[in-house]
Amino acid sequence: MGRMRRIFRIVAVAGAVLLLAAAGITGYAAYNLTSLIARNQDRILQRLGGALGRPVRVAAIKARFGLGLAIEIDALAIADDPAFSRDPFFTAAQTALDVRFIPLLHGKVKVHRLEFTQPVVRILRRSDGRLNLDTLGELVASETSPHRPRSAANAMGGIAGALARSVSIRALAIDDGTFYYRDAAVSGVPLQITHLSLEMDGLHTGSPFDVDLKAALFSEQPNFRIAGTMGPMLRQGMLEVAGCPLELKFRAGPVSIDSLRTLLAPGAFPVSLSMPAPLLVAGGVNGTLANLRVSAHSELSNYRVVYRTTSNAPATAPLVLNLSGKTAVLGGLRPMDPKPGWDLTATFSQFASRFEGAQLPAITDFNGQLHLTPARLELQPANFTFGSGKASLQASADSLSPLRADFTFTADSLQLSQIVPSRPPGEFVNALSVSGTARGDISTPILDARITSGRGLVERLAYNHLDVNANYDGNRISARPLAVDVFGGSVLANINALAIARAPFDASASVKHINVTELFRWLDVHSDAISGFLTADAHLSGAGTSWKEIQPGLRSNGRMFLSGGKLHGINIVAIALNRIAAAPVVSQLVSVAFRTSHQGLFADSNTDLSQAGMTFSLNGTRVSTNDLLVQAPEYQITGAGWFDFDKNIDMSGDIKLTLGLSAAIPVVVMGKYPALLVLPNIPKLAERTAVGVVSAPINIIKGGAGAVGGVLGGIRSILP
């Protein structure tokens, strides 16, 4: 037993001596390494700078001895390409390398742990699309592949390859880092990811290794985490970054969308729009670093979007939109391609939106998919309930700048008061289809669309078979053509207007077989004076959006034709003939025999307008014509003058009977309907009779000019 104790004592003493010797050797090596580094610091930095293709500077490099050997670098800074910025590309307050001592004695650098404290990485993109990453490691890349096109992926691969040939890193850590990205082609505040922490253990091995990354994404506090496994990165002793497999899970949130406001150009995100509630998104990433497969999902529950107009007083309640439903994103990313690509599909399930405190339609049961690639954005057919109707939407865009897109929207029925609260109840549009294209600048798009609707009621106007080819360009709207069935007939029009207050417009229109009674009722012309069916071709101009606004300044000209019409409550022909029958001298023109043979004409209380036509000009509410022509079975009327929408008339013309009189009877019609004054022009009639134009009794013809004078004296007897 004593012998065994002596053996253990000797071994213990020997071990202690060896430990002291190793500690002394290690301490001496550390001391000499620090001294060596101090003497060769400039040379080390030059070699590192040459590998990176950028100047490198530090405040100090020193060795520290503990359980192992640590190399500490204070205030590391890697310069940027001067063509991009004078600020550093990379900085770190402190960089620590835990190096295995024994391999270092043999000239091999095996880093157990590499840690960066408060690193800042600045990625810049010029307007021509080049990144400041593209020129990293140019010397290394030119030596290995002198003719290979430079890219950020190639640059990083060259640096990683150079490090892999000389340095082995077991673990990588980042503490409180910042990632900064600015694109010169995009206005707004640069993207920043802060409070970045990273743990990668088992990095430089031929086996998978663990990854745990945390960061603050659009937040002051860490709210993003991604963790899982990556690797192996070594294949047959070679570092293969792009092909590195990964299997990661992530969770983002809470993220406030309000923080995105800073990323956009001033005015690009309405200052009155706010989305204060945070979002939570979870998902996974797998595949390789060169070809990622991404899946993400989020569930909204009463997510609120708050909108305030600039006119809102502080006490005025804002408009609040509630969103709910499930969303998911699935697809692939190729971040290391020369032109990074993606192929993503966003799915919306049972999605809904509803406005609080506003009579606006709720969108419910929205189900659809949005497909995105670098060259195309496509909303595949999505079905949803819009207000009280079923609707669908499909759209695609080949470019957003400039905008090149097409779309199709359909709805079985829309209640307009649900969409625009100011519209009166009861207005509707059924069997609606809107399909067209959008182009130009996304903020001021040019829209071309074909709009069809089976039937509807708008502005008290009931219509059928609406078909419009519409264009919107800036503040100009056109419909070329607009076809619709209204008032029992049809309208075909070409319209141009400005989308401003009291919008001016001009239009050409062709109407066929319009029911005049229904037209007047819609125009609020409270009169049953005229009935029939109107056909017309006209050009119109004016300003306003309602008939009350349009009417005073309305201008029009064209030709109109009335069929099956009547002037109700007054028989102009009968009144004129009765006046003649009561007049001295010419009374024999309307004999008892004539009145007997035309009893129907005298008994009718209306003026027959079986066929009536004229060219016209309209100024405000007054319609003027010089060629009125009315044809009825028993007479023909020609005339000139004016009438207005207030039922005032001032017309003169001729009545020519089909039987009984061989020439026209001149008449004057004036006054306000229905109290119209109808006067035969007795002097003109007498002149025509005197010269034999009108067949008359022989005593009138013999009287000649004297008879005309006698008639002038008798006119008073026929005035009312």
Strands (E), 522-647: 530-543, 555-567, 607-619, 622-632, 635-644
Return d(Cα 580, Cα 586) in angstroms, integer. Answer: 7
Is residue 621 assigned to a domain?
yes
Return d(Cα 132, Cα 53) in angstroms, integer. Answer: 12
Domain span at residue 642 reads: 554-718
pLDDT for residue 138 = 59
Is residue 690 assigned to a domain?
yes
Is residue 499 assigned to a domain?
no
Residue type, 436: G
pLDDT in tens, 273-324: 666 677 788 999 999 888 989 999 888 777 777 766 555 455 566 677 788 8
pLDDT for residue 280 = 83
Is residue 72 assigned to a domain?
no
Q: What does the mean pLDDT of the chain come to?
A: 78
Which residue shows structure tokens 């201008």? 555
Return d(Cα 612, Cα 533) in angstroms, integer. Answer: 10
Q: Which helix (H) or strand (E) holds 686?
A: helix 682-690
pLDDT for residue 143 = 44
pLDDT for residue 29 = 53
Highest mean pLDDT among 236-250, 352-366, 442-456, 668-682 belongs to 442-456
Structure tokens at 664: 């026209």
Better-scored residue on pLDDT, 396 or 310: 396
Is residue 594 assigned to a domain?
yes
Is residue 314 assigned to a domain?
no
56: pLDDT strictly greater than 80: yes
Q: Which helix (H) or strand (E) holds 212?
A: strand 209-217
- Weakest-pLDDT range from 267-281, 340-354, 359-373, 649-663: 267-281
pLDDT in tens, 550-605: 888 889 999 999 999 998 888 888 887 787 777 665 666 666 666 666 677 777 88
Strands (E), 14-89: 56-57, 60-65, 69-78
Which bin fits 258, alpha (ψ -120 to 50), beta or left (φ > 0)?
A: alpha
Is residue 484 assigned to a domain?
no
DSSP 262: G
Return d(Cα 51, Cα 25) in angstroms, integer. Answer: 32
* Helices 41-52 and 2-39, packing angle to 10 deg: 70
Q: Dihedral sign for Cα 88, 89, 92, 98, please.
A: negative
Which residue shows structure tokens 């470019």? 399
Better-scored residue on pLDDT, 252 or 697: 252
Rounding to the nearest 10 degrees, give the CA dihedral for residues 260, 266, 269, 271: 100
Is residue 146 assigned to a domain?
no
Q: How confident is the model at residue 514 (pLDDT cuts 50, 70, 90)?
A: very high
Number of domains in the chain: 1
User: Of 258, 251, 316, nearest to 284 (Cα)?
Assistant: 251
CB 335 within 8 A of CB 292: yes
